[in-house]
């Protein structure tokens, strides 16, 4: 049974406390940057446990593994997009709790969503499968993907801006759509801290 994409695309949105600033970029975008410590356990899906310390330890181990992973988020993104030429990344995240560190990337191409697993150590493509058609998603997700297709800012651009603005290394990126406006949500690891950068594209592609 197909999982809802809403949770996948917005799983980092709960981290937000935002400070507004302007960042000059090749494509106009408003960048809202979280410049405050965020509890690490909120960044990834730690195993459920009655002991919060155990969950926190699991997340810290995952973040430590991320620090030791040679492949970057943007490298994994580029690899996934090459599998289906012309596709655009809608969501990407790091999973360090598996046997090998993996980037899970979902890309949009011609009304279809593909999910690819990229090895964080070797950059090899471990898996690439059709996740869903756009028509099979919720209205909110369809709106987000339609907006993604209409803007010139790409996920790779958003990741670069976020890493430069937050002075760290991106661990995930996703989309949110509110009141018809698209935003890129990028979570950046800065040492043991996490920062969220929200970018709102202001330039639409002319059709």
- Mean pLDDT to the nearest integer, 112-116: 94
d(CA 189, CA 207): 37
Angle (nearest 5°) at CA 123 between 184 and 108: 40
Quick: pLDDT tens for 167-180. 999 999 999 877 77
Q: How much of the chain exceeds pLDDT 90, in percent? A: 45
Per-residue confidence at 32, pLDDT binned at 50, 70, 90? low
Q: What is the 3-state secondary structure (H, E, C) of 129-187?
A: EEEEEHHHCCHHHHHHHHHHHHECCCHHHHHHHHHHHHCCEEEEEEEEEECCEEEEEEE
Per-residue confidence at 85, pLDDT binned at 50, 70, 90? very high
Is residue 53 scored above 60 in pLDDT? no
Per-residue confidence at 12, pLDDT binned at 50, 70, 90? very low
pTM of the model: 0.73
Per-residue confidence at 104, pLDDT binned at 50, 70, 90? very high
99, two tokens: 């046997």
């Amino acid at each position: 049974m197909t999982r809802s994409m809403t949770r996948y695309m917005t799983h980092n949105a709960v981290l937000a406390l935002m400070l507004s600033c302007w960042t000059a970029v090749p494509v106009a975008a408003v960048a809202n940057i979280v410049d405050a410590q965020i509890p690490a356990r909120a960044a990834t899906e730690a195993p459920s446990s009655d002991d919060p310390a155990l969950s926190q330890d699991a997340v810290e181990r995952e973040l430590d593994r991320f620090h030791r992973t040679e492949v970057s988020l943007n490298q994994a993104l580029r690899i996934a997009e090459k599998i289906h030429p012309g596709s655009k990344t809608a969501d990407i995240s790091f999973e360090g709790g598996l046997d090998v560190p993996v980037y899970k990337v979902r890309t949009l191409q011609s009304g279809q969503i593909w999910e690819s697993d990229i090895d964080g150590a070797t950059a090899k493509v471990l898996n690439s499968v059709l996740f869903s058609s756009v028509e099979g998603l919720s209205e909110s997700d369809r709106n987000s993907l339609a907006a993604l297709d209409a803007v010139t800012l790409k996920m790779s651009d958003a990741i670069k801006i976020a890493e430069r603005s937050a002075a760290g290394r991106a661990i995930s990126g996703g989309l949110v759509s509110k009141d018809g406006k698209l935003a890129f949500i990028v979570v950046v690891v800065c040492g043991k801290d996490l920062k969220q950068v929200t970018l709102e594209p202001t330039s639409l592609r002319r059709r």
